[in-house]
Structure formats: structure tokens, C-alpha cells
Amino acid sequence: MYEITYGPKYDKTLSRVEIAERFRQDVKAAISSDALPKGLKLSVRTKGYSGGGSIDVTIKAVPAGFRILSLARLQEDATNRRGAAPEPWATPEARTLLDQLDKMLNAYNFDGSDIQSDYFNVRFYGGVEFDSRLTSAEREAFAASPPAPVLAIVREVKSEQVQFLEALGVN
């Protein structure tokens, strides 16, 4: 038998829709108490399907000045230079926000899964993610005005590429 862990707010009588509503209430209370940033907007959607269902949370808006993407990772991406250990994609603040919301959501879940034997037993699947439009907007803003050190690296990389192509006889 597999060990089952229950979230502190787990209630087997709640439907996924009721869990989603309670999660929304928890988020509002956390914003009011400053545990979550003001200006945070979420989409909470439930889905049902054969074999279970999910609660999917998408962060649609963050407060002005809140950075999602790590500047170091954006620089790596812009220069196409990744080391053996690439920079994390999210800022520590963004990662903390994702973790907080995920913990709040999973307070209503249970998990009796055993990944090694490919056995999954949860109340619901799902998770928390940033809307791709938010991350795309940050990438576009970075590309429009990258910091000077990044521009120097990009020029150096392009120069190396031109030299390589010239050495191959490609014009």
C-alpha cells in the first residue's frame, strides 16, 4: 500500500469547483493581508476528464515592477551562451510566488502516488504558471533595450560567426 499525504485543508466532500472557489478566497485573503502582492490577477480553471480532473492556475497580471524572468537567463538566451549549469529562468521573487500559490492550491489535495511504479493517485492534477503573454512581454522589452554588456557580447558572438563563415568561404 502507498502512503497517502493529505493537505491541511483536504476535504473529500468538496468538488473541484468548490476547491477552486475556496482557493480563490484564500488568494483574496492573502492579498488583503499582504502575504501575496497587490495587483496579482489569476485565472483558476477546473477540468474534468476520464480518470480525474485538474485545477489549473494561470497568473495573468503582476504588480508594476515585478520581474518574472531572470536577467541573467535573458542575457544567456540573448547571447546563446549557456554554461553547464544554466541560469534559472525565473527571478527568486517569481519562484517564491509560484511556490506560495502551489502550496495554497495543494492544501486541498492528497497524494498517494508512487512514481517509481507509475502509480498516480491524487485528488486533482494541475498547477500554477505564468501566462505566456507576461513572459513574452518581458522578453520583448529586454530585446528592445538590452543592457550594454549584453550588446557587447552579442556583437562579439556575431563577429565570431562572421569570421567562421569567412574561413569556410561562405559570403
Residue 34 lies in a domain: yes
Residue 165 lies in a domain: no
For residues 91 and 17, is the Cβ–Cβ distance under 8 A?
no
Share of the chain above pLDDT 90, in %: 49
Question: Best-predicted range by mean pLDDT among 1-10, 72-81, 112-121?
Answer: 1-10
CA atoms within 13 A on the CB side of 158: 7
For residues 82 and 76, is the Cβ–Cβ distance under 8 A?
yes
Residue 24 lies in a domain: yes
Residue 81 lies in a domain: yes
> What's the total number of domains in the chain?
1
Residue 163 lies in a domain: no
Average per-residue pLDDT in the chain? 83
Residue 152 lies in a domain: no
Q: What are the tens digits of pLDDT across the range 113-142?
A: 667 767 777 788 899 999 999 999 988 888
Residue 53 lies in a domain: yes
Q: What are the tens digits of pLDDT across the range 18-67?
A: 999 999 999 999 999 999 999 999 999 999 988 789 999 999 999 999 99
pLDDT value, residue 99: 96
- Strands 5-6, 110-111: pairing kind: antiparallel
Residue 161 lies in a domain: no
List the domain range (segments joined by +) for residue 103. 5-145
pLDDT band at 157 (very low <50, low <70, confident <90, very high): low
- Rounded-to-5 percentages of helix, strand, coil across the chain: 45, 20, 35
Q: Is the pLDDT of residue 6 over 70?
A: yes
